[in-house]
Amino acid sequence: MLPDNLHKIDPEEAIQRVRALLSIDDMLEEEELAVRDVVRAFVADNVLPDIDKHFEDKTFPLDVGRRLGSELGLFGCALPDEHCGTGASYTAYGVANQELEYGGSGWRSLLSVQSGLVMYPIHAYGSEEQRATWLPRLHTGEAIGCFGLTEPGSGSDPGSMRTTLRRNGDHYLLNGAKAWITNGTVADVAVVWAKDDEGKVRGVLIEKGTPGFTATDEAHKFSLRASITSNLAFDDVVVHEDQILPRRSGLGAPLGCLNQARYGIAWGAVGSARYTFEAALRYTLERVQFGAPLAAFQIQQEKLAWMFSEITKAQLLALRLGRLKEQGKIHHAHVSLGKRNNVWMARECARKAREMLGAYGISGEYPVWRHMADLESVYTYEGTHDVHALIMGQAITGISAFRASS
Ligand code: TGC
Ligand code: FAD
């Protein structure tokens, strides 16, 4: 028989109470709250019901994914561009990432890649013609894009890429390979980074079906299974001048895109952490061992208090980044701070939640495992946790520690 006071706690009521305690609603504008509500409803109706099945089957429902564009207008929504911008604030865009990653990291990946890694370079570095051709279709989700920077031999060090863009008469030839590319096999357009004859990094737009361009899916993957990850190969692909992004060259061009996507991840990770925190709270209130709900034991409460503290700090950090971005004051070291801290925090929350659920922590019935597995990719892509420490270290000290000294 349980003591009376331990019977009375309804997990759903507890979750509502904790959501109110975590709330930063009074720091958000009306439009930002409206975006949150619309994306939250979309996730409840269209993502949560079958994401675990997609994770198990290693599939992603792209037709539903396109609706982030056609119905919600999220793709590229914060870009100040007549072809796609909706006037949404960067904070509204961040909040959308947070709500999507509550559902799953693969859903936030779709938004990050499409908006930050495909639409941003076309908007910021593209010609007027390239912008008019691609941005409207990418905005509605009619077209899907991918971003090819990483190669089999070049990950954290993209400056060592081997893909080349060589002049050949009145055109160029693209040769090389890209690895671990989100949405590579389904993309209508690939933004590919390659070195030209002078060794300068250039961005080129390659359409699906171009002769010499092939894409295949990554076969063995235990993380981000409900997301498409591909390898791209380029064998003497003919590239015309109008496919090259004309307004920026050098490694800073792709890195500028990463600032956009990393910003979205800093917000998204908070959503994932909220999911695993709520799962742990629900489980420990329901599960009775040694005559009481697990939530009544001090060790479990300490873990919940840790998650609550870190989620609170992380969402304040994300909001700070949003406001800095809107004021044009953000430095890429701020973005590294947000990506690094918030993904670390979400990964720790997922691990704690998994252990708090005991055996159920590895079961698809309580999908904490899926978040935990997906966060291993998020911790690695868009710059690993340690690479972001080095980026911040360089900003703090003025000394680059990327290369081993001889
Ligand atoms: P370094 O010499 O430091 O910099 C080269 C040039 O780039 C400039 N720069 C930046 N510009 C804009 N934004 C940034 N964040 C920048 N960081 C550096 C820099 O000023 C310099 O410009 P210039 O004009 O002097 O030439 O470069 P380095 O060779 O020492 O390398 C360091 C660096 C920054 C590349 C490394 O720290 C790094 O970031 N590595 C991580 C690579 C990465 O994040 N790859 C991500 C691939 S895309 C992906 O993962 C998508 S996942 C998608 C999904 O969500 O599903
Ligand atoms: P490495 O660079 O080989 O690093 C291995 C380890 O060494 C890491 O722990 C790293 O922190 C450490 N390390 C590296 N350099 C240093 C250093 N100087 N000092 C100390 N430690 C160091 N890429 C794209 O271009 N487009 C995409 O759409 C894309 N999507 C992805 C989707 C998924 C699911 C995954 C897993 C990856 C994706 N990537 C994508 C690739 C991703 O960006 C790279 O995996 C990432 O940049 C790390 O590169 P790497 O895997 O080659 O690791």
Query: Helix, strand, or coil here: 245?
Result: coil
What is the structure's pLDDT at 121? 98
Of 261, 137, 154, nearest to 207 by C-alpha is 137
Q: How many CB atoms lie within 10 A of CB 36?
A: 17
> Is pLDDT at 2 greater than 90 in this prediction?
no
| Active site (annotated) includes residue 382 | yes
Contacts of 298 (CB under 8 A, 6+ apart): none
Mean pLDDT within 291-318 = 98
**Which one of 111, 336, 387, 390 would you pick to mutate in the ligand 2 pocket, going by the greatest count of ligand atoms within 8 A of its CB?**
387
What is the structure's pLDDT at 9? 87
Atom of ligand 2 nearest to the CA of 182: 28
Contacts of 144 (CB under 8 A, 6+ apart): 62, 66, 114, 138, 183, 186, 187, 188
> Is pLDDT at 297 greater than 90 in this prediction?
yes
> Is pLDDT at 20 greater than 80 in this prediction?
yes
Mean pLDDT within 110-130 = 98
- CA 335 to centroid of ligand 2, rounded, Å: 17
Q: How far apart are CA 118 and CA 257, in angstroms?
A: 8
**Is there an atom of ligand 1 within 6 Å of 289 CB?**
no
CATH 1.20.140.10 residue ranges for the chain: 252-397
What is the structure's pLDDT at 8? 73
- Tens digits of residue pLDDT in 153-205: 999 999 999 999 999 999 999 999 999 999 999 999 999 999 999 999 999 99
CATH 2.40.110.10 residue ranges for the chain: 145-243
> Is pLDDT at 406 greater than 60 in this prediction?
no
**Is there an atom of ligand 1 within 6 Å of 393 CB?**
no
pLDDT band at residue 325 under the 50/70/90 scheme: very high
CATH 1.10.540.10 residue ranges for the chain: 11-140
CA 293 to chain centre: 35
- Tens digits of residue pLDDT in 326-345: 999 999 999 999 999 999 99
Q: How many CB atoms lie within 10 A of CB 84?
A: 25
Indicate the CATH number for domain 11-140. 1.10.540.10
**Is there an atom of ligand 2 within 6 Å of 164 CB?**
no
Q: How is domain 252-397 classified at the architecture level of CATH?
A: Up-down Bundle (1.20)
Q: How far apart are CA 332 and CA 312, in angstroms?
A: 23
Question: 285 and 295 in contact (C-beta within 8 Å)?
Answer: yes
What is the structure's pLDDT at 400? 97
**Which one of 157, 255, 340 would you pick to mutate in the ligand 1 pocket, going by the greatest count of ligand atoms within 8 A of its CB?**
255
Indicate the CATH number for domain 145-243. 2.40.110.10
